[in-house]
Amino acid sequence: MICYFHDIKKANIMVIDDEEINLEIIDELLNDEGFSSINCFSDPKEAIKHYRQFPPDLVLLDLNMPVMNGFEVAEQFQIINHSPPPPILIITALADRTTKLKSLDSGAKDILSKPFDDQEVTRRVRNLIEMHLAHKKNLHYSKNLEHIVKTRTQELLETQNEMIESLGLAAEYRDNETATHTIRVGLYTQALAIQLGLNDKEANQLKLASPLHDIGKIGIPDNVLLKKGKLDTEEWVLMKKHAQFGYNILKNSKSLLLKNAGIIALTHHEKWDGNGYPAGLHGSEIHLYGRITAIADVFDALTMSRPYKKAWPIEDAIQLINDEAGKHFDPSLVESFNQIIDKLLTIRKDNSD
Residues 42-81 that bind Fe ion (CB under 5 A): none
SS3 assignment, position 267: helix
Minimal distance, residue 275 CB to Fe ion, in Å:
15
Of the listed pieces 15-23, 36-44, 98-106, 291-299, which binds Fe ion according to CB under 5 A? 291-299
Contact 65, 17 (CB under 8 A): yes
Tell which positions 121-160 bind Fe ion, by CB under 5 A.
Answer: none
Residues 6+ apart with CB under 8 A from 294: 267, 268, 269, 270, 271, 328, 329
Q: Report, in Å, the least distance between residue 242 CB and Fe ion.
A: 6
Report in angstroms how near the CB of residue 304 gets to Fe ion at its nearest.
Answer: 10
Q: Which stretch, 87-95, 281-289, 292-300, 322-330, contacts Fe ion (CB under 5 A)?
A: 292-300
Answer yes or no: 228 catalytic. Answer: no
Q: For the chain, what is the largest distance between any 2 Cα atoms, rounded to a whole number of angstroms?
A: 105
What's the angle, vertex CA 103, arms to CA 129 and CA 108, rounded to 5? Answer: 20
Question: Closer CB to Fe ion, residue 65 or residue 215?
Answer: 215
Report if residue 297 touches Fe ion, rule: CB under 5 A.
yes
- Taking CB under 5 A as the binding criterion, the range among 55-63, 295-303, 315-323, 345-353 that sits at the site for Fe ion is 295-303
Nearer to Fe ion, 62 or 297 (CB): 297
Is 233 exposed, middle or buried (CB count within 10 Å of its CB: 0-12, 13-18, 19+)?
A: exposed
**Min dist. Cβ of residue 303 to Fe ion (A):** 13
- Give the helix/strand (H/E) hosting 125: helix 118-174
Whole-number minimum distance, CB 298 to Fe ion, in Å?
9
Query: At 99, which helix (H) or strand (E)?
Result: helix 97-105
Strands (E), 106-177: 110-113
Count of chain residues binding Fe ion (CB under 5 A): 2
Q: Interacting stretch for Fe ion, rule CB under 5 A, among 124-132, 231-239, 297-305, 314-322?
A: 297-305
3-class secondary structure for 37-90? Answer: EEEEECCHHHHHHHHHHCCCCEEEECCCCCCCCHHHHHHHHHHHCCCCCCCEEE
Catalytic site residue from 109, 136, 207, 217: 217
Q: Which is nearer to Fe ion, 57 or 297 (CB)?
A: 297
Residues carrying an active site annotation: 217
Q: Which residues bind Fe ion (CB under 5 A)?
A: 214, 297
